Amino acid sequence: QASADANRPFAGLSDVSISEDIPVEGDISVPVGPSARRDDEFSTLDEPVKETVLRDLRAVGKKFVHVLYPKRSTALLRDWDLWGPLLLCVTLALLLQGGAADSDYQGGPQFAEVFVIVWFGSIIITINSKLLGGTISFFQSLCVLGYCILPLTVAMAVCRIVLVAGSGSVSFAVRLVVVTASFGWSTFASTAFLADSQPANRKALVVYPVFLFYFVIGWMVLTFSPSQ
Amino acid sequence: MSAGSGNKNTEPWGSFDDNLIQGSGSAVIDMENMDDTSGSSFEDMGELHQRMKEEEEVTEEAAATEDHEDGEFLGMKGLKGQLGRQVADEVWQAGKRQASRAFNLYANIDILRPYFDVEPVQVRSRLMESMIPVRMINFPQKIAGELYGPLMLVFTLVAILLHGMKTSDTIIREGTLMGTAIGTCFGYWLGVSSFIYFLAYLVNAQITMLQMLSLLGYGLFGHCVVLLVSYNIHFHFLFYVLWLLCGGLSTLRMVAALLSRTVGQTPRLLLCGTLSVLHMLFLLYLHFAYHKIVEGLLDSLEGPNMVPMQRVARDVPELTINATVRSLVPLLRAH
């Protein structure tokens, strides 16, 4: 008896009739995941390009704010995107480019070098954290690591401004302080997002490669010297 | 409980379905398919999951094609179109299944997962132990087979090398600073490990490739310490002392581990001699090739007996012009 009822859940409603004078109203739209998003995409195809670009820029800007004030939030992880890391990587590589303008002096990092370091370093750190039992996905981790380069990029801009003023030991001391502070900030910000996804006793194993990664980038920023 | 399987399905949740686990109707549980984390059955687990996923996909596909066949009959032209679409669909599905199976088998990073299963205290204790040689050579010493520590040490060595190259203004003609550092460190770790493993295979020593990689990786800890100190404090004498002390200790540790796993005098001599020579020379090379020594300090300390290795020199335009002029002049004179 119970199984018969279970097979026909609406069996009891067969005798209900809807009269035509009673207006039926209400919202019967059911939020279905994929098709709703597909409708969204189709509707944004007609909007002006400026709106699309501004919307993406606003999302990137919101994530920048999250990096600058790192709290234990999942905003960076939930809607990850790789626009921000790309922008930051290109900016950093361009800022580091000025010192190596002379082709004979190859001591400075080339554009491609910075790119390769940032992206392959992030990939290696991500694979390492996944192998250590992390619960974060591949692209989420790339997103977090890329966004946390922001303090170092800001430090690079500051260093270039300081170098315009002069390149003595005072400017070196100032640059050292700025780079060290931003390196610490980057590491702290990225561990605030990444360490939560690891088992408690292995946090140090994940933090060390992140520390090394930002150390190398910070080192490139600090030892940048413009061509005479 | 599973004596008369198939006809005792009284539970609404499907009871203990042996077919799902083993693929046959036997009551014996195959130990091979048990979920254990010893690391040797990861491929089996991967295959098992893949098989289960494929079964699901096949049943889904069967249901989908059944629904499709129950659709309307559109006449001969419609039938050919439908058939063509179905065939194309099935070819696509088969290709996708093959590709995903290959991908899951080869790009499965779970194969590496057991080698990264370490705790921070273990890594710290292994780092300390890599500088302490163990005297027991009559019984095979235990070598940890992990890759996290060695990998991090290689990256640390790369970072230290970069620092040394930067502070000494090394000029590299072909290639970049970063590329050279990474190539050197990884090349040493992987290349020398493979070479020593090959020699060990020839003389029948009891060591696996993973253990060799791990041993050599941890042996780089001494190198990291020495280079960190000597790239910042430019005392030549200090470098030699550290080279003998730290380099020697880490080499002795590796040599003792290898000795304990090799039988016979000549094989032992060959294996351990090669390893110690390569390991010590690598440290020497790293110090001198990537770090220009301040000339005055060198002369004042011990005389000019050791010329620092330098990278490829720049062409000097005047010399090349002179050379061509000198070669052209006799030609002109002959005419």
Nearest CA in chain A to B168: A107
Res. B334: pLDDT tops 80: no
- SS3 at position B43: helix
Residue B312 has a pLDDT of 60
Q: Give contacts of A107 with chain B, Cβ < 8 Å.
A: 165-166, 169-172, 177
Kindly state whether B119 is in contact with chain A, defined as any CB-CB distance less than 8 angstroms. yes
Res. B255: pLDDT tops 90: yes
Contact A201 B170 (CB under 8 A): no
What is the amino acid identity at position B300?
S
Q: Among A13-17, A79-83, A156-160, B213-217, name the one with the lowest average pLDDT.
A: A13-17
**Opening angle at CA A212, ends A153 and B239, nearest 5:** 120
State chain B's maximal CA–CA distance in angstroms.
112
Q: Which residues of A174-183 are buried (b: 16+ CB within 10 A; e: fewer)?
A: ebeebbeebb
Kindly state whether B183 is in contact with chain A, defined as any CB-CB distance less than 8 angstroms. no
Mean pLDDT along residues A69-93? 81
CA dist B250 and B245 (Å) reads: 9
Of residues A113 and B132, more confidently modeled? B132
Contact B170 A219 (CB under 8 A): no
CA dist B144 and B129 (Å) reads: 11
Res. A24: pLDDT tops 60: yes
CA dist B170 and B179 (Å) reads: 13
Contact A128 B155 (CB under 8 A): no
Q: How far apart are the first and last CA of chain B?
A: 109
**pLDDT tens-digit map of A175-213:** 999 999 999 999 988 888 777 777 777 888 888 999 999
| Confidence grade of residue B248 (pLDDT, cut at 50, 70, 90) | very high
B114 Cα to chain A: minimum distance (Å): 8
Res. B185: pLDDT tops 90: yes
| Confidence grade of residue B35 (pLDDT, cut at 50, 70, 90) | very low
**pLDDT tens-digit map of B96-130:** 888 888 777 666 777 888 888 888 899 999 999 99
Residues A175 and A222 sit within 8 Å (Cβ to Cβ): yes
Residue B2 has a pLDDT of 43
Residue B25 has a pLDDT of 45
B272 Cα to chain A: minimum distance (Å): 32
**Count of other CB atoms within 10 angstroms of residue A169:** 8
Kindly state whether B125 is in contact with chain A, defined as any CB-CB distance less than 8 angstroms. no
Nearest CA in chain A to B167: A223
Which among A116, A205, A219 is the nearest to B163, CB-wise? A219
Residue B299 has a pLDDT of 45
Mean pLDDT along residues B65-83? 62
| Confidence grade of residue B333 (pLDDT, cut at 50, 70, 90) | low
Contact B112 A131 (CB under 8 A): yes
Mean pLDDT along residues B125-148? 90
**pLDDT tens-digit map of B2-21:** 444 444 555 566 555 444 44
Top mean pLDDT of A141-145, B162-166, B208-212 is at B208-212
Contact B109 A130 (CB under 8 A): yes
What residues have CB less than 8 Å from A133, skipping those under 6 apart?
A: A198, A199, A202, B113
CA dist B8 and A9 (Å) reads: 27
Residue B47 has a pLDDT of 61
Query: Would you give the distance in Å from CA A146 to the centre of its chain?
Result: 5
Res. B73: pLDDT tops 50: yes
Locate all alpha helices (DSSP H) within chain B, ordered by sequence: 18-22, 42-69, 75-106, 120-129, 148-167, 177-202, 209-230, 236-242, 248-259, 265-289, 295-302, 317-334
Query: Computed over its alpha carbons, how large is the radius of gyration of chain B?
Result: 32
Mean pLDDT of all residues belonging to chain B = 76
Joined tokens for residue B195: 């070479």
Contact A117 B170 (CB under 8 A): no
Residue B1 has a pLDDT of 45
Q: Among A60-74, B240-254, B316-330, name the one with the lowest average pLDDT.
A: B316-330
Q: Give contacts of A97 with chain B, Cβ < 8 Å.
A: none
